[in-house]
Amino acid sequence: MGDKRYRELKDYKAAGTNAGKVSIVGAGPGDPELITVKALRRLEEADLLLYDRLVNRKLLDYAKPEAVKIYCGKAPGRHTLPQEQIQALMVQHALSGKHVVRLKGGDPLVFGRGGEEALAMAKAGISYEIIPGITSALGAAASGAIPLTHRGISASCAFVTGSRCGSGQRQVRWDLLAGAVDTLVIYMGVGELAALCGEMLRSGKAPDTPAAIIERGTTAKQRILTGRLDQLDKLAVSMQAENPALIVIGEVVRVRSELLELEARMMEQTSSA
């Protein structure tokens, strides 16, 4: 939707329309109990709910019965609605006096295009707010017992998109990240895992660096695969790893192994007592 259309909508508002407002809301990483209290209140208030693919459907039950719900899910290569059309719907219904809630998985400003939607509302002169959510990296890593920072092991962490590896878009500087950041968390990278691992190995990351794939983090279907960086792509293929998934690379993955060993030892001692 171009700037001209935004100006037209803004003029429409100025002409006397009783404009509503837009709430751009993070739903959290999958477990519906991880949504914030503030986000839940906005769901209850919504007149129109535009929700994404990774939003837990149980959260939709908190909307009032008369609220209109529109699915806007995006999968690789398959977009239910183009981003421009989603923003046009937000503008259109807000200008008609509705409270529009744009519900997004994780946090709306971490690979969620929430910034684009906020800019669209600002250009149209619409009142908006951004309500943060627990992003997938934090939720999935915690539920998988992998600390993203850990004293003596990791003092830095970077969230990176894996969807651009090998594409014509602006590339991630793996040559800089590989040596500068202790823990890397890669979103949307399972389909490009061989290329990602190759980039990091060529950039100097040690082949035996611990790595993990967390599928469907925080949900009942969560699965965690761990291995070495140089073998991670083969592990993913053999175990049929698939999205939604996060990749964690760094020494912090060893903490999970240590915790599991301690837990197993405790259970063994309890059963033999």
DSSP 103-133: EESB-TTSSS-HHHHHHHHHHTT-EEEEE--
Q: Are residues 75 and 155 in the same domain?
A: no
Does 242 share its domain with 169? yes
Torsional class of 204: left (φ above 0), alpha (ψ -120 to 50), beta (otherwise): left
**CA 128 to the chain's CA centroid:** 21
CA distance 133 to 179: 30
Q: Are residues 113 and 142 in the same domain?
A: no
Considering 101, 134, 167, which residue would you say is the last residue of a domain? Answer: 134
Together in a domain, 145 and 128:
no
pLDDT, position 169:
55
Asked if residue 103 and residue 143 are part of one domain, the reply reads: no
Same-domain status, 130 and 144: no
Residues 139/148, Cβ–Cβ less than 8 Å: no
Q: State the CATH number of the domain containing residue 238.
A: 3.30.950.10
What does each of the 273 residues of the chain score in pLDDT, given as a tens digit?
Answer: 444 444 444 444 443 456 799 999 999 999 999 999 999 999 999 999 999 999 999 999 999 999 999 999 877 666 689 999 999 999 999 999 999 999 999 999 999 999 999 999 999 999 999 999 999 999 999 999 999 999 999 999 999 998 765 555 557 888 899 999 999 999 989 989 999 999 999 999 999 999 999 999 999 999 999 999 999 999 999 999 999 999 999 999 999 999 999 999 988 888 876
Q: Is residue 106 part of a domain?
A: yes
Count CB neighbours of 88 within 10 A: 18
Distance CA 112, CA 134 (A): 12
What's the confidence (pLDDT) of residue 268?
Answer: 84
Cα–Cα distances in Å, from 250 out to 6, 97, 133? Answer: 45, 49, 25
Please check whether residues 247 and 162 belong to one and the same domain: yes
Residues 122 and 10 in one domain: yes
Enzyme catalytic residues: 52, 74, 188
* Residue 50 falls inside a structural domain: yes
Residue finishing a domain among 80, 107, 134: 134
The DSSP bridge pattern shows strands 223-228 and 210-215 to be antiparallel
Residue 24 lies in a domain: yes
* Cα of 19 vs its chain's centroid, Å: 30
Same domain, yes or no, for 72 and 156?
A: no
CATH of the domain at 105: 3.40.1010.10
Pair (127, 142) in one structural domain: no
In which order are the strands placed within the sheet that holds 127-131? 68-71, 48-51, 99-104, 21-26, 127-131
Residue-range definition of the domain harbouring residue 66:
3-134
What beta strand segments (E) does the chain contain? Answer: 21-26, 48-51, 68-71, 74-75, 78-79, 99-104, 127-131, 157-161, 183-187, 210-215, 223-228, 245-249
Angle at 70 between CA 68 and CA 72, to 5 degrees: 160
The C-alpha atoms of residue 50 and residue 186 are separated, in whole angstroms, by 26
Total tally of structural domains belonging to the chain: 2
pLDDT value of position 94? 97
Query: Looking at 80, 104, 134, which one is the last position of a domain?
Result: 134
